[in-house]
A and B are shown apart, each in its own frame.
Chain A
Amino acid sequence: MTMTDDKKNRHPGRDAHAAGGPLQPVSSTEAMLEDLFQSARAEWDLPGGNSTGDDLSGSGAQPSVAPDLMARILADARDETLARGQVQDRYQDDTGADTRDATRADMGVDKGKTSSSAIRRWLRGLGADLGLGFGGWPAAAGLTAATVAGVWLGVSQPQLLDPVATRYGMEQASLSQTVALSDAGDPVAGSGAATGLAAGAGSESDAASDAQSDTWAVPDLFDDQTLSGFETLLMNG
């Protein structure tokens, strides 16, 4: 058996014992123990067991291995290799769910967990792709804010927007105009109301414009008078 000096030095007393020299025990019981340990090491100190392997640092206490035990160990090694090879082959030939499920079962992997994690990974990938396509999360946040603001302005128009819109040349068109103009009983204004309903009668007369400014403060839409105005409008074509 080969043994490096370093490995020998790990056992105080063994060198002296092996060389036939005296041990230096604390007591005779200690000497007895060292002798028993030495006997135990020598019991299995058989040739052929050790090697020049990198890390077998023991003293050489190696029993002989029965051939049938070695055969079982090597058979295990072969079976493990075959099992891994089968799994790899199945993955390479992976064309259907049955094969995948069988492979998972062989590997002891829970099918449900695998499926959910696969979906989660796919969703994460999809989200990442979309996010990059739209410019990342800052762009997505801006787009969302703009969308919400647009919807809000469309549904609930702030009154402050009207004078601003007028200043910049836009025309006010509101069903509330018809209320005021129809109340005035002016046929011109009435026609203005009719055209106002079609968005933009302000240029026809100053009186109509005054009537418009008066009606901006009237928030009620679709009251009885408005509905009667609708009826009149529809009846007159």
Chain B
Amino acid sequence: MAFDALDQIPDEDLLARYGAGDQAAAAELARRLTPRVLGVASRLLGDRAEAEDVAQEAMLRLWRIAPEWRRGEAQVSTWLYRVTSNLCTDRLRRRRPVPLEAAGDPASDAPSAEAGLLATARQQALDQALAGLPDRQRQAVVLRHIEGLANPEIAQIMQIGVEAVESLTARGKRALAAALAGRKRELGYDDDG
């Protein structure tokens, strides 16, 4: 089948085709899903190398479950997000927690006037603030506000209720706001509010 045609096939059908031995379907699934997995893992772990390991492991689990995949029980991406989140949580539990203050300032203090470096500083500040959140709050905030998933889907991924997702994201945002409040001017925001 041509690549263009594979591009139109839903994930679940591609997974079934891979389960039957179709390597082209696997390639399309990997092209489609790996960036998502890598993005979530990077946000949750704050470490690109670790995130790549998690992404490979999550995709490997997808390959392994393909022959036994039961259609209609869950979306492939939701299942994959859940596996990725669990893998990240396992890794985070093995880490020693790093407080926000100990994480240091952004490396781009001096040339912060330049737009590119300011953007980098902002991103580092957000990553540091995210790293200071409890695991579940960080997971909910990343999935909601960076990955842009809807609350019901996040609830499926985290295996909690929608209300719990809302509570986690609200508390996470409050904690982020508190952590970043003192860095507004440094990050180029007007401190008038």
**Which residues of A are at the interface with B, using a C-beta cutoff of 8 A?**
7, 10-11, 14, 27-33, 35-37, 39-41, 43-44, 46, 49-66, 69-70, 72-74, 76-78, 80-81, 84-85
Contact = CB atoms under 8 A, between A and B. Distances in A.
Nearest to A32: B189
Number of contact residues on B: which range applies?
Answer: 35 or more
B10 A33 contact: no
A41 B153 contact: no
B42 interface: yes
Contacts, number: 161
B34 to A, nearest CB: 5
A69 B34 contact: yes
Nearest to A7: B148
29 contacts: A29-B177, A30-B177, A32-B180, A35-B189, A36-B126, A40-B126, A44-B39, A54-B75, A55-B75, A55-B78, A56-B33, A56-B36, A58-B36, A61-B39, A63-B39, A65-B35, A65-B38, A65-B55, A66-B52, A69-B34, A70-B34, A73-B60, A77-B27, A77-B30, A77-B63, A78-B26, A80-B64, A84-B67, A85-B21
B181 A29 contact: yes
A223 B10 CA distance: 96
Given A7-B148, A36-B126, A81-B23, A52 B39 contact: no
Given A33-B173, A54-B11, A59 B36 contact: no
Contacts of A29: 177, 180-181, 184, 193
A37 B75 CA distance: 25
A69 B56 contact: yes
A76 B35 contact: no
Majority DSSP secondary structure for residues of A touching B: helix
B45 interface: no
A76 B26 CA distance: 10
Contacts of B33: 53, 56
A62 B43 CA distance: 11
Nearest to A11: B148
Contacts of A63: 35, 38-39, 42
